[in-house]
A and B are shown apart, each in its own frame.
Chain A
């Protein structure tokens, strides 16, 4: 791995701890599902932690983030707590979305994390609109859409890239390429080798590839492209290469992935890479162990609190359709 990026040891340790919290939250989500406490499905982001944490570290607190149904890591990286995320998955009244959204729709709007969307590619135009709005209001904010490799073959991706390029908007499109479009290798269904980055030239915007498992490299790339966008130089596309530790969704054991490929990627784990960098920076082993222990404690507390939280209030089913809080469709 490159060591070209200079990083403050304290900052990197903080990023490591965020990734450790995400890893443990995803593990808890997995275990709670098996225990029958999470229903529906989950699309876990274990393995993708460095993309959310590295990107988030490079953004301003008021920048807009739009994520997908594999979005727990983005909600957490933008300030949602493990407790409110797990409570949402467990259908608790204290859930992030009052148990109306579930795993696929985690949202922390008070931090401008404006949602997780489960129709592939749909949120890319929304990020374009948020960037347009930021420019119209002159706030200096940028918008970021995170999406999977599968989204690069849907129309909304191409419409969004073209409009963002034509209007030269401050938006970043960050592809989390984990090599599989659900169960199918993305290479089998895509006309170009790099599903996101290779499309960028068609829209006249920068298209870069980064090791999405290296939080330092992600932070560097996103920071540079964010500066460019904020300076008025328009959108960019970043393809972050990564790998899922679990299958596509809860019911997928991912047996279609070759064992040697899985092994290779598990050895290229985002947390391991960060630990290596911390050691290179002279951070003592105990400091990392303490960060791990804090993450474990936080997530365990979150699990306990979510288990004890009240179930979703049935009366909430008929609220929040309209801005007045209600659901009346007729007089």
Chain B
């Protein structure tokens, strides 16, 4: 086993592990077959599993996700790829109206064990229609589980949990993390959905982050340590189930909360997390809550503009410093 694996390789490895153990797992999406995916996240799957289990589709997002739903209702475990998460808007009906509701509105008659994988987020200069962090879109809809791993090992472990889940899972793979490296996952690695990870322990302030914001929060924590501010960093890993227990547990120790969100402040996941803290953990807090989130504008193209919009290490450090002084 290699010493390190990239996040990109981990996606294909995570899917392949499940395809080996369960013949019901099939993949469909644009350019995912012999081409290996535009982000090279399905490299090797077509070669190993063939055309009967790895299906290239036309550019038809509704057909991709709708067909995945029909297959999931009838005994398969489809893994559908939507190339960029921005394109979820093209099949939003399935994620807003069909997949999350069919079990409920049939009184539990139907089960939809599918995964919709998608490349999410900014930082690569793809402009307003290929750079959005759209996890908050899915977060508005009861009935979808939402995974957004930050490390290669978590990609593999959470992919296993997502594919084995009998519930629909939207799996956000972060474009800005594809080239990052980490320790490989052990065999049979499984990370249950809804379990946040405390990735840095600290006593003074809790930083809660997701996906590409986890390394941002960790780097900020290192900088803050030089100023004797001891930050705890939580990788949420999932938005649904949302691990509020781990966050409240951390606040019992630190009494200060900062969320680090790539999605826009307006409608971002931090708003919901913070409302739970206000409802159930108000007495734990010694300071106001701060949300470091994206500006409420479309993602601009130029690096110099994009970094004005998306949270950066500097912005997190500044927010925490002010909070620590409160």
CA distance A100 to B103 in the complex (A): 10
Given A107-B110, A128-B63, A331-B242, A122:B105 Cβ within 8 A:
no
Considering the complex, give the chain B residue whose CB is closest to the CB of A114. Answer: B73
Which residues on the A side are within 8 Å of B219 (C-beta)? none
A115 is an interface residue with CB less than 8 A from chain B: yes
B68 with A129: CB separation less than 8 A = yes
A319 with B108: CB separation less than 8 A = yes
B93 with A133: CB separation less than 8 A = no
CA distance A136 to B22 in the complex (A): 13
B57 is an interface residue with CB less than 8 A from chain A: yes
A129 with B98: CB separation less than 8 A = no
Given A125-B70, A129-B71, A330-B241, A323:B167 Cβ within 8 A:
yes
B6 is an interface residue with CB less than 8 A from chain A: no
How far apart are A233's CB and chain B's nearest CB, in angstroms? 19
Could you tell me which residues of chain A, from 283 to 327, have a CB within 8 Å of some CB in chain B? 316, 319-325, 327
How far apart are B238's CB and chain A's nearest CB, in angstroms? 10
A132 with B109: CB separation less than 8 A = no
B93 with A100: CB separation less than 8 A = no
A107 with B78: CB separation less than 8 A = no
CA distance A300 to B103 in the complex (A): 30
A162 with B241: CB separation less than 8 A = no
Given A64-B74, A321-B143, A110:B97 Cβ within 8 A:
no
Given A101-B106, A107-B106, A163-B63, A129:B75 Cβ within 8 A:
no
Which residues on the B side are within 8 Å of A134 (C-beta)? 74
CA distance A245 to B26 in the complex (A): 44
CA distance A322 to B244 in the complex (A): 19
B107 with A101: CB separation less than 8 A = yes
A323 with B166: CB separation less than 8 A = yes
Could you tell me which residues of chain A, from 163 to 205, have a CB within 8 Å of some CB in chain B? 163, 166-167
Identify which of B63, B71, B107 contacts A133 (C-beta below 8 A). Answer: B71
A328 is an interface residue with CB less than 8 A from chain B: yes
Which residues on the B side are within 8 Å of A163 (C-beta)? 57-58, 60, 63, 67
Considering the complex, give the chain B residue whose CB is closest to the CB of A98. Answer: B107
B67 with A125: CB separation less than 8 A = yes
B243 with A331: CB separation less than 8 A = yes
Given A126-B67, A130-B74, A107:B60 Cβ within 8 A:
no
Given A107-B106, A329-B240, A331-B245, A323:B70 Cβ within 8 A:
no
Given A117-B98, A122-B98, A97:B106 Cβ within 8 A:
yes
Most buried by A among B57, B74, B75, B104: B74
Given A122-B94, A133-B75, A159:B60 Cβ within 8 A:
yes
A160 is an interface residue with CB less than 8 A from chain B: yes
Identify which of B78, B93, B110, B165 contacts A109 (C-beta below 8 A). Answer: B110
How far apart are A159's CB and chain B's nearest CB, in angstroms? 4
CA distance A324 to B145 in the complex (A): 13
B66 is an interface residue with CB less than 8 A from chain A: yes
Given A321-B142, A331-B246, A125:B107 Cβ within 8 A:
no
B111 is an interface residue with CB less than 8 A from chain A: yes
A156 with B76: CB separation less than 8 A = no
B98 with A119: CB separation less than 8 A = yes
A125 with B106: CB separation less than 8 A = no
Which residues on the A side are within 8 Å of B66 (C-beta)? 122-126, 128-129, 156, 159-160
B107 with A97: CB separation less than 8 A = yes
Which residues on the A side are within 8 Å of B104 (C-beta)? 100, 320-321
Given A115-B102, A331-B243, A126:B73 Cβ within 8 A:
yes
The contact string, 1 if C-beta is below 8 Å from chain B, for chain A 271-287, is: 00000000000000000
Given A136-B26, A159-B63, A125:B69 Cβ within 8 A:
yes
CA distance A155 to B92 in the complex (A): 13
A267 is an interface residue with CB less than 8 A from chain B: no
CA distance A125 to B76 in the complex (A): 15
CA distance A320 to B67 in the complex (A): 22
The contact string, 1 if C-beta is below 8 Å from chain B, for chain A 39-83, is: 000000000000000000000000010100000000000000000
A329 with B241: CB separation less than 8 A = yes
Cβ contacts A to B, 18 pairs, < 8 Å: A64-B70, A95-B107, A97-B106, A98-B107, A107-B109, A122-B62, A125-B94, A130-B70, A132-B70, A160-B62, A160-B63, A162-B60, A163-B57, A319-B108, A321-B104, A327-B142, A330-B242, A331-B243
4 closest A-B pairs by beta carbon, nearest first, are A125-B66, A129-B70, A129-B67, A323-B166
Further 4 A-B residue pairs, CB within 8 A, beyond A101-B107, A136-B26, A319-B108: A128-B66, A129-B71, A160-B63, A331-B244
